[in-house]
A and B are shown apart, each in its own frame.
Chain A
Amino acid sequence: MWAMIVKEFRQLRRDRRTLAMMIVLPVLLLVVLGYAASFDVKTVMVAVAGPQSGLAAGLLKAPSFDITQSAPGRGRAWAQDQLRDSHDEMAVVTGGTRPLVLIDGSQLFAARAALTDLAGVRYHVGFTGTRPSSVSPKVVILYNPGLTTSDIMIPGLCGVVLVFVGTIITSLGVVRERQSGTLEQLAVMPLRPRDVFLGKIVPYFLVATVDLAIVLAVGIAIFGVPFRGSPATFALGALLFLFVTLGIGVLISSVSQNQGQAIQLAMMTLLPQVLLSGLIFPLTSIAAGVRWIAYFLPLTYFNEISRGVMLRAEPIAALWQPFVFLAVLGAVVVTGATLRFRGYLAPAGHRRGGGTAAPVPQEAGI
Chain B
Amino acid sequence: MTALASCAGATKRFGDFTAVGDVHLAVRPGEIVGLLGANGAGKTTLIRMLLGLTATSAGRVELFGEPPSRQTRSRLGYVPQGLGLYDDMTPVENMQFSAAVFGSGTAASLPEGIGEYATELVGSLPLGVQRRVAFAQALAHRPDLLILDEPTSGVDPLGRARLWETIADAADGGAGVLVTTHYMEEAQECGRLVIMADGRVVAEGTAAQIVGSGQVVLVQAESWSAAFGALEGAGLQVALAGRSLRVPGADPAVVRLALGDMPATVRQVPATLEERFFELSSQRQQA
Closest Cβ of chain A to B102, distance in Å, is 10
Interface check A14, CB cutoff 8 A: yes
Please determine whether A14 and B88 come into contact, CB atoms closer than 8 angstroms. Answer: yes
Kindly state the separation between the CA atoms of A6 and B93 in the bound complex, as whole angstroms: 9
| Chain B, residue nearest A12 (CB) | B88
| Chain A, residue nearest B94 (CB) | A7
Please determine whether A7 and B121 come into contact, CB atoms closer than 8 angstroms. Answer: no
Kindly state the separation between the CA atoms of A259 and B93 in the bound complex, as whole angstroms: 27
Interface check B58, CB cutoff 8 A: no
Kindly state the separation between the CA atoms of A14 and B121 in the bound complex, as whole angstroms: 10
Interface check A10, CB cutoff 8 A: yes
9 A-B interface contacts by CB (under 8 A): A3-B96, A7-B93, A10-B88, A10-B89, A11-B86, A11-B88, A14-B88, A14-B121, A15-B88
Kindly state the separation between the CA atoms of A139 and B110 in the bound complex, as whole angstroms: 83
Residues of B near A7 (CB, < 8 A) are: 86, 89, 93, 97
Kindly state the separation between the CA atoms of A64 and B269 in the bound complex, as whole angstroms: 102
Please determine whether B100 and A2 come into contact, CB atoms closer than 8 angstroms. Answer: yes
Interface check B158, CB cutoff 8 A: no
Kindly state the separation between the CA atoms of A250 and B89 in the bound complex, as whole angstroms: 30
Please determine whether A3 and B121 come into contact, CB atoms closer than 8 angstroms. Answer: no
Please determine whether B101 and A10 come into contact, CB atoms closer than 8 angstroms. Answer: no
Residues of B near A11 (CB, < 8 A) are: 86, 88-89
B interface residues, tally (CB under 8 Å): 9
Residues on B close to A: CB < 8 A? 86, 88-89, 93, 96-97, 100-101, 121
Kindly state the separation between the CA atoms of A7 and B89 in the bound complex, as whole angstroms: 8
| Chain A, residue nearest B102 (CB) | A3
Residues on A close to B: CB < 8 A? 2-3, 6-7, 10-11, 14-15
Residues of B near A15 (CB, < 8 A) are: 88
4 tightest A-B CB contacts, nearest first: A3-B100, A7-B97, A11-B88, A14-B88
Residues of A near B121 (CB, < 8 A) are: 14
Kindly state the separation between the CA atoms of A2 and B99 in the bound complex, as whole angstroms: 12
Closest Cβ of chain B to A280, distance in Å, is 38
Kindly state the separation between the CA atoms of A22 and B35 in the bound complex, as whole angstroms: 47
Task: Give 16 new A-B contacts, CB below 8 A, not counting A7-B89, A15-B88.
Answer: A2-B100, A3-B96, A3-B97, A3-B100, A3-B101, A6-B96, A6-B97, A6-B100, A7-B86, A7-B97, A10-B88, A10-B89, A10-B93, A11-B89, A14-B88, A14-B121
| Chain A, residue nearest B101 (CB) | A3
Kindly state the separation between the CA atoms of A7 and B86 in the bound complex, as whole angstroms: 9
Residues of A near B100 (CB, < 8 A) are: 2-3, 6
Kindly state the separation between the CA atoms of A46 and B147 in the bound complex, as whole angstroms: 81
Residues of A near B97 (CB, < 8 A) are: 3, 6-7
Residues of A near B93 (CB, < 8 A) are: 7, 10
Kindly state the separation between the CA atoms of A164 and B88 in the bound complex, as whole angstroms: 31
Residues of A near B89 (CB, < 8 A) are: 7, 10-11
Kindly state the separation between the CA atoms of A3 and B86 in the bound complex, as whole angstroms: 14
Residues of B near A2 (CB, < 8 A) are: 100
Residues of A near B96 (CB, < 8 A) are: 3, 6
Residue of A2, A3, A6, A15 contacting most chain B CB atoms (<10 Å): A3
Closest Cβ of chain B to A9, distance in Å, is 10
Kindly state the separation between the CA atoms of A10 and B92 in the bound complex, as whole angstroms: 12
| Chain A, residue nearest B98 (CB) | A3
Kindly state the separation between the CA atoms of A7 and B98 in the bound complex, as whole angstroms: 10
Kindly state the separation between the CA atoms of A3 and B89 in the bound complex, as whole angstroms: 13
| Chain B, residue nearest A15 (CB) | B88
Kindly state the separation between the CA atoms of A2 and B97 in the bound complex, as whole angstroms: 9
Kindly state the separation between the CA atoms of A11 and B88 in the bound complex, as whole angstroms: 6
| Chain A, residue nearest B90 (CB) | A10
Closest Cβ of chain B to A37, distance in Å, is 37
Kindly state the separation between the CA atoms of A6 and B92 in the bound complex, as whole angstroms: 13
| Chain A, residue nearest B93 (CB) | A10
Residues of B near A14 (CB, < 8 A) are: 88, 121
Closest Cβ of chain B to A2, distance in Å, is 7
Closest Cβ of chain B to A290, distance in Å, is 35
Kindly state the separation between the CA atoms of A218 and B101 in the bound complex, as whole angstroms: 57
Residues of A near B101 (CB, < 8 A) are: 3
Closest Cβ of chain B to A250, distance in Å, is 26
Residues of B near A10 (CB, < 8 A) are: 88-89, 93
Residue of A6, A7, A14 contacting most chain B CB atoms (<10 Å): A7
Kindly state the separation between the CA atoms of A7 and B122 in the bound complex, as whole angstroms: 14
Closest Cβ of chain B to A257, distance in Å, is 11
Closest Cβ of chain B to A185, distance in Å, is 21
